[in-house]
Amino acid sequence: MLHSIIWILIALLFIGSFIGLVFPIIPSALFIWVAFILYHFIIDTTVLSVSFWVIMVILTAILFGADIITNRFFVKQYGGSKWGERVAALGVIVGSFILPPFGILLVPFIAVLFVEMGQKRTSSEAVKAAFGSLLGFLGGTFAKFVLQLIMITWFLIVVLF
């Protein structure tokens, strides 16, 4: 009975980690790790090897860097400033509370547009940088989705087969 409850909780945590892609305030990586730890300490302490944990730490570090790397890359590629990068990141967080899930796309776009225009950029440069922040968010979200899927799939393969 306890194992069934833990497995349901693990499944809910994995689902919650993907919800965190749309609502960035939800700590996706933490949800995945709590699921791993629940399995390890309550169901079976022998299945998850040291190499599993090391690889998960590496994938988690990449997961955390995915947003920063893609956001910076796209904002720079599209002519945005450092302030544009920062405001885009903040806009994603604020936007997740305003008109979810569309706020995480609209708020950073609008915020970067205003910040870039406030820095005396032309309208087309500001729109281009704002579009870059949108692509950065989408790219980071896609990268995190793939990484989370790899982590969860790897876990399931290890524990089920």
Per residue in 101-128, pLDDT (tens digit) is 788 889 989 999 999 999 889 999 999 9
Helix 123-160 to helix 50-77 angle (10° resolution) is 170
* pLDDT value of position 64: 86
Distance (Å, whole) CA 116 – CA 123: 9
Give the pLDDT mean for 12-36. 93
Average of per-residue pLDDT values in the chain: 91
pLDDT in the model for residue 24: 77
d(CA 133, CA 91): 10
Q: How far apart are CA 152 and CA 11, in angstroms?
A: 10
Query: pTM score, two decimals?
Result: 0.86
Report the run of H or E that residue 46 belongs to, with start and end: none
Single-letter code of the amino acid located at 152: I
Per-residue confidence at 71, pLDDT binned at 50, 70, 90?
confident
